Amino acid sequence: MTYLLHIDSSSLLTGSVSREVGATFQTAWQKEHPDDTVVYRDLAADPLPHLTPAAITGRFTSPADRTEGQAAAIALQDTLIEEFLGAGAYLFTVPMYNHSIPSGFKAWIDQVFVNGRTLFPAPDQVPTRGRRAVVVTSRGGGYGPGTPREGMDHVIPYLRSVMAGSLGLNLDIITPELTMAHRNPAMAPLRPQAEASRARAHEEAEQFARLA
C-alpha cells in the first residue's frame, strides 16, 4: 500500500494559508485514494535539527566506527529518507519567509539529500523520478511579472531545482499570494485580489489531488 507524504513547514500552527490549502489537497486526495494512507510530518510542531558535524561526517564513516553522535544523526537521516522513498505522492507546504523557504524545510532537505540514497549522477537512477508532488507556497505580497517585487521570489526557482531537478519529482506548484492583505492596513485595497488568489489556490489543490 502506498501513501501520501504530507509535510507542513509553516511556523504558524493556526491561521496559515499554506496549511489550509494543503489540508484541502489532502482531503481531496483521500477521497480519490480511499485505500491509501497519509504520513504526516509537521516541521514546526516537531522540528528537525539542522545538519551537524556528526551528521555530515557520519555519512562517510563506517557503521562500526561511528561515534554515538554520528550513529544518532545517521539513524535520523535513515528514518527520513525511508519515509521519503516509501511515498507514492507528496504534498509540501512551503510558505515564503524573507524571499526564501523556511529554515525548517531546508533542514529536512539537508537531511534527505544523500548521495546513493536519494541523489544519483544519472536522472534515470533517481528512485523518486516521475512521482507526483504538489507544493503550496504562500506569500504575503505579490511577486508576479510587473509587480515591484518581481525577481525577488527565491522559493519557486529553488524548489524546482531541488524537487524537480535533483529528486526528479513531477512538480505542481500552487501559489496563494497577498496573504498579508487582511492584516496590513496598507494592503487593504488588495484584499479582493487576495481573496481571489486564495480561492483559486483551493480550487487548484482539488484539481491536482485528482491527478496525484
The string of pLDDT tens digits covering residues 98-142 is 999 999 999 999 999 999 999 999 999 999 999 999 999 999 999
Whichever domain contains 176, its CATH number is: 3.40.50.360
Report which DSSP code applies to 164.
I
pLDDT at 54: 97
Q: Please count the structural domains in the chain.
A: 1
pLDDT at 2: 84
Compute the distance between CA of residue 27 and CA of residue 37 in angstroms, rounded to an integer.
11
Mean pLDDT of 62-77: 97
Q: Which of 147, 203, 152 is nearest to 175 (CA)?
A: 203
Compute the distance between CA of residue 31 and CA of residue 26 in angstroms, rounded to an integer.
9
pLDDT digits over 145-177, tens only? 888 888 899 999 999 999 999 999 999 999 999
pLDDT digits over 74-97, tens only? 999 999 999 999 999 999 999 999
Computed over every residue of the chain, the mean pLDDT equals 95
pLDDT at 148: 84
pLDDT at 1: 55
Please give the share of the chain, as a percent, with pLDDT higher than 90. 92
Structural domain range at position 87: 3-211
Compute the distance between CA of residue 55 and CA of residue 57 in angstroms, rounded to an integer.
6
Q: How many CA atoms lie within 13 A of 7 on its CB side?
A: 25
pLDDT at 146: 84
pLDDT at 9: 98
Mean pLDDT of 28-43: 96
Compute the distance between CA of residue 170 and CA of residue 168 in angstroms, rounded to an integer.
7
Say if residue 41's pLDDT is above 80.
yes
